[in-house]
Each structure stands twice: as C-alpha cells, then as structure tokens.
Amino acid sequence: MGLFLFVVVVVVGIAFYSAYQSEKAKERALTAYRASLSDLKKDPGNSDLRQKTLNLGRIYSNLVRDKKGNTVFDEVALMNDINAACASTQHVVHTQSQTPPPQQESVEARLQKLNDLY
C-alpha cells in the first residue's frame, strides 16, 4: 500500500512539474515575442527583425496550442501584430511628375482634326 501511494505521489508530482514547465515555456515565448515586437517598432524597416519576430510568434503560438502546430488564424494574427508594429514605415510617397500635363484642346479643335483625317 505504501509503495502504491509513493508511486501515485511521484506521478502526480511529475505531472504538476511538467505543467509548470509548459507554462513557464509559454511565458518565456510570449515575453520574447513581445520584446521582438517592441524592437520592431523601433526599427520597422529591418526585415531580419521582422523574420525573427514572426518565428518567435510561431513558437509562442505552437506552445499555446500544445505543440499541435499553427493555424491560419494564428498566422493572420501574427502578421497583424507585425504590420501594426511596422505601421510607421507604411506611408505613401508622393512624387511630382516630371512631364507637364498635356494641353487640353477644345472640342471644336479635336473635331476638326477628325474631319481632316477623312
């Protein structure tokens, strides 16, 4: 009876330790992902940092799903996070055209050109 109780206590202890380690891994992965997002906000044009952030997000997502892989929804959520962090680089560049706009001819002048063709 004493041996059975000892084995049960050991098995329960191992289960709790495993769950604790799993939660710690999730916390570490989330902290690393958030830190990388913060770094990305400081340097949004850095494609290597973007890739690193995406990989860290995938690691975290996989851990949250009990190592069963990432879903499309996870990928979309990660890209939304990354795009939000890089929002400062997504601006529209306005340039001036080098050629002047064409001069508009009057309707009568254009009709006269058409008549001259026949």
CA distance 55 to 50: 9
Q: Which of 83, 82, 90 is nearest to 60 (CA)?
A: 82
Q: pLDDT tens, 6-64?
A: 888 999 999 999 889 889 999 999 999 999 999 999 988 888 999 999 999 999 999 99
Segment 50-104, tens digit of pLDDT: 999 999 999 999 999 888 888 889 999 999 999 988 886 655 455 666 666 667 8
- What's the pLDDT score for residue 89? 62
Mean of per-residue pLDDT scores for the chain? 85
| Closest C-alpha among 86, 87, 58 to residue 74 | 58
